[in-house]
């Protein structure tokens, strides 16, 4: 592969990632650029390294099963000020609590969430579903077969996590005697706390975003 082709492919890849509103899998990238999957992955690695080497305000990460551009962690303060000055609404304390419970205990029923929080959570679950952060994940086998809830790929995407296994461990909180749901929520949804789209290092670069 010549340098000209490499430059062309990298430029095309960066353009694809910029216009995409979701992570792009290696197979999708390979098909779009007429490459094999291994070459597509190497191209993504090359672009990620190139962004870092030239001091770009963007980073390329493999999250939720695909590749996506995010703002660089060093730009967090500037991005956060911009986001918090916009009209986008923050997630409420109730939303953070509920999202943390679903993230760590999924699949979980509405009744289980409400029991843990000590308050009815129907409205919060609906709001999180509307935001695309949680979704129905089947039905429980118990009486009445209630709906089960789990997090969505968009949840992983917005937190910049490759999988649920990468969620912060609750063990340090529990061993310290600080099992408060607010602390769990802060760990589980750091990227969501600033606003509906998330702030700082975990905010994806999207055309027309904001």
Position 86 in a domain: no
For position 125, which CATH number holds?
1.10.10.10
Selection from 195, 162, 190 nearest residue 85 by Cα: 195
Number of domains in the chain: 2
Q: What is the pTM of this model?
A: 0.47
pLDDT on residue 203: 38
101 and 131 part of one domain: yes
Question: Which residues lie closer than 8 Å to 6 by C-beta, 6 or more apart?
Answer: 43, 46
Tell me the pLDDT tens digit for each residue of 137-187: 999 888 888 999 999 998 888 888 888 888 887 766 555 443 444 554 554
Question: Which domain covers residue 137, as residue numbers?
Answer: 93-193
Question: Same domain for 41 and 101?
Answer: no
66 and 109 fall within a common domain: no
Q: Are residues 58 and 110 in the same domain?
A: no
Q: Decide if pLDDT at 188 tops 60.
A: no
């Amino acid at each position: 592969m010549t340098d000209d082709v490499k430059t062309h492919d990298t430029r095309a890849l960066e353009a694809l990632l910029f216009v995409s509103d979701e992570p792009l899998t290696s197979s999708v990238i390979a098909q779009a650029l007429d490459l094999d999957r291994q070459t597509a992955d190497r191209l993504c690695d090359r672009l990620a390294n190139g962004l870092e080497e030239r001091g770009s305000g963007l980073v390329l990460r493999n999250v939720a099963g695909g590749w996506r551009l995010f703002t660089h962690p060093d730009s967090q303060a500037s991005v956060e000020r911009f986001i918090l000055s916009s009209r986008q609404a923050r997630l409420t304390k109730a939303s953070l609590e509920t999202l943390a419970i679903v993230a760590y205990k999924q699949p979980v029923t509405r009744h289980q969430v409400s029991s843990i929080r000590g308050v009815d959570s129907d409205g919060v679950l609906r709001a999180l579903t509307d935001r695309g952060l949680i979704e129905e994940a089947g039905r429980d086998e118990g009486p009445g077969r209630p709906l089960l809830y789990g997090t969505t790929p968009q949840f992983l995407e917005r937190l910049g996590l490759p999988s649920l296994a990468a969620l912060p461990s609750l063990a340090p909180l529990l061993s310290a005697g600080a099992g408060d749901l607010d602390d769990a929520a802060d760990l589980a949804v750091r990227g969501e706390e600033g606003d509906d789209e998330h702030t700082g290092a975990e905010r994806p670069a999207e055309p027309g975003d904001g």
